[in-house]
Amino acid sequence: MIKNRREQFPLQLACAALAGIAFLTGCSSTPIVAPKPTGWIKDEVADSYVFAYPLVLMGAARDAAVGAGPGQAPVNTLRHASALPPVGAHNPPTPGIDTLDSTAWLDVGDEPVIVSLPASAGRYMDARALDMWTNVVWSTGTQTTARAPGIKAQTVAFAKPEWKGELPKGVKRIDAPTRNLWLDVRIQSNGGRDLTAVRKLQRGVRVMPLSVYTGDASAASVAPRSMPGDSAPGTPAEQVAALDAKAFFERVAQLLPDNPPSPADPHALKFLADLGVKPDEPVELPKSAGDAVAGGIADGRARIATPPTNMLSANGWNWFGDGVGNYGPDYALRAYAAYAQPGIGTKDDEVRASVALDSDGHALNGANRYVMHFESNQVPPVRGFWSVTAYTKDGALGDSTPSRAAVGDKSGARRNRDGSIDVTVSAAKPRKAANWLPAPRGDFQLVLRLYAPKPDATDGTWQPPAVVRQ
């Protein structure tokens, strides 16, 4: 057996060798210390940014929406959209124009919050609640059928998992994994005079704490929980994008105590702790590693803006498949969904497919004319309805006339004799086109929405047609 070489040298020889080294390097010189590697810091910062991005984005969205200012409402209070297209400083990109939305930020920290929905009498209506990590904890998506696109009257209660009280009869309990939830109730509208009927349904949607619902307290006596502070300028996504590493991870530390990750992930939390990020504690990022931290943030921002490989893609279109809304440990998909389609539901709620290139790979531009040809067996498969809308490349509606800004089955899309559908897209109205979709004059994108999609819309069986330049 080979012995350790160190054992083969007498002690005096070793000392002499060390003395020689000291003589050559200089007894008074400072020892050279190799810098510690920081690659792990860059990697863990990037991973942690992707992991926590949905939480920070939801926190910014909550702070923008909760308050007493214009376009805001207190927690546990509904805010009803009253017009199409939607207006407001904090609207997400590519806003929907098929529905009027009633939204609320719920706070279940002190007691359960009751949500009551009226029967929609055959009109398409859906509701969903997202936790602070953008997971869908409840939705009505599976209740919609092609024969009955509406929903029945129902009442649910969102409560902390550890809450032990009793609920009124007929109220279904939903455990809320985070203290705050975002509620969105959408009612299909054709605009114009139809808005009156929609607003009547909106008035039938109720949100209130349990004590108010049971009559044990008045609404005025239930003080809303204060938020961290006034909303910053810009949309929530713009606010998060402007945060440096210190500010971003401080927001994570502030939000974690009330909003633990789901599923619980000790590995991701350890990464945060390694970086000096712990719930409700001052953040101390690694010192002397500024370049690694900055590089990790840059990598994280690039990753959340990059479609993950498990997105569905065909003919230039991209859309989410079966995993949307219930992400589990798929943090890349969750972060991209929050970045690209904030508030998206599950595969049973909605599909949003988007495209910005024509069939030849060129950017869509309103100066050209395009046609989307849906074969009779390729018409979007839905239990509710579908529509396609053109937006600027930044996600705005542009100068399109609101009443004609979407084409779909609810807007009377005309079929050809063989059952197929042609949709013409251009800025200038063509002389002959049964289904014309106005487009912005510059570069634009299309968003195809499927409300209450059928399974083949998210399992890869169905795909949207190419956008062909004429």
Check which CATH number belongs to the domain holding 81 and give it. Answer: 2.60.40.1610
CATH code: domain of residue 346: 2.60.120.600
Would residue 259 count as lying in a domain? no
Q: Which domain holds residue 463?
A: 342-469
Domain match, 81 and 214 both: yes
Please tell me the predicted confidence (pLDDT) of residue 400. Answer: 58
Q: What are residue 351's DSSP bridge partners?
A: 450
Phi, psi of 24 (to 5 degrees): -70, -35
Cβ atoms of residues 15 and 296 within 8 Å: no
Q: Which of 190, 221, 252 is at the close of a domain?
A: 221
Q: What is the per-residue pLDDT for 4?
A: 36
User: Are 217 and 347 within one domain?
Assistant: no
Cα separation, 461 vs 184, in Å, equals: 29
Instruction: State the total domains in the chain.
Output: 2
273: amino acid identity, one letter? A
Residue 430 lies in a domain: yes
Count of Cβ atoms closer than 10 Å to residue 95 Cβ:
19
Closest CA to 333 of 353, 313, 356, 303: 303
Concatenate the DSSP letters of all residues of 151-215 into one string: ---EEEEEE-TT----PPTTPEEEE-SSSEEEEEEEEE--STTHHHHHHHHHHT-EEEEHHHHTT
Residues in the chain, pLDDT under 70: 1-38, 86-92, 220-231, 399-404
**CA nearest 298: which of 238, 236, 241, 254?**
241
Does 249 reside within a domain? no
**At which of 221, 236, 261 does a domain end?**
221
452 within a domain of the structure (yes/no): yes
Say yes or no: 213 and 355 in one domain: no
Picking from 203, 221, 239, the residue at the C-terminal end of a domain is 221
Neighbour tally for 396: CB within 10 Å: 16
CA proximity to 104, closest of 96, 115, 120, 88: 115
Q: Which residue has the tokens 């495209």?
A: 355
Give the whole-angstrom CA distance, residue 143 versus residue 174. 16
- 115 found inside a domain: yes
Q: Give the per-residue pLDDT at 136.
A: 97
For residue 230, what are the contacts with CB-CB under 8 A and spacing of at least 6?
A: 63, 67
| Residue 232 within any structural domain of the chain | no
293: exposed, middle or buried (Cβ count in 10 Å: 0-12, 13-18, 19+): buried
In a domain, 368, yes or no: yes
Distance CA 427, CA 436 (A): 10
Q: Cα dist. 31→21, 189, 238, 407 in Å?
A: 12, 75, 48, 73
Distance from C-alpha of 37 to C-alpha of 308, rounded to nearest angstrom: 29
Look at residue 403 and tell me if it is in a domain: yes
